[in-house]
Amino acid sequence: MKTDIVAGRHVGFTHGHRRPSADVLGWSVLKREGEGIMKLNSFLVLATIVAAVFGLGLLIGPSQMGAFYGVRHTPATEVVGRIAGSTILAFAIIFWGARNANGTEALKAAMVAGFVTNGLDCLILLHATWTGLLNAYGWAQAAINGLLALGFANFTFGKR
């Protein structure tokens, strides 16, 4: 695949087989008809891998992930890191389900992601409240996330 980058002007119209694909900050990226930098499917697989790595990293070891970037966590901020990890992991599930551009698969992926992130958040919040990291409102938030997880599970895996 050949891509030409030309500053400030569109080049290649006279050849008939190239067209401008983007004009960003004065740079035009030209490509052959039918070619792209990456297919949507490949991009979503890449996005899935990145989100899964960072999501699982934050979910399992928020302090270790934070230390890599120079951030020190307290036990309370580890809870927030784990919740962020579950949310990023949910995006990995959505990206994976949407990779084939099928509406039904994408909806199911979003529903599974809602189940996973709310279920994990419920467990994280239950543990954090049980160990005293959160006050009594932690129980209420755990209940909210638990009920949402049950709702997602019902509409995703239940009989219709």
Average of per-residue pLDDT across 86-114: 89
**Helix/strand/coil for 50:** helix
Q: How many CA atoms lie within 13 A of 14 on its CB side?
A: 1
- pLDDT number for residue 7: 44
Q: What is the pTM of this model?
A: 0.66
Q: What does the buried/exposed string (b/e) look like for 20-46 if buried means 16 or more CB atoms within 10 Å of the residue's CB?
A: beeeeeeebebbbeeeeeeeeeeebee
Distance (Å, whole) CA 107 – CA 102: 9
Terminus-to-terminus CA distance in the chain, angstroms? 47
Distance (Å, whole) CA 59 – CA 80: 10
Tens digit of each residue's pLDDT (9 = 90 or more) over 40-78: 888 889 999 999 999 999 999 999 988 888 888 899 899
pLDDT confidence tier of residue 12, bands split at 50, 70 and 90: very low
List all residues 6 or more positions away from 148 whose beta carbon is below 8 Å from its beta carbon.
114, 118
Is the per-residue pLDDT at 86 higher than 60?
Answer: yes
Nearest Cα residue to 115 out of 55, 157, 83, 59: 157
Task: Give CA angle at 53 (49, 56), nearest 5°.
Answer: 130
Is the per-residue pLDDT at 101 higher than 80?
Answer: no
Is the per-residue pLDDT at 32 higher than 80?
Answer: no
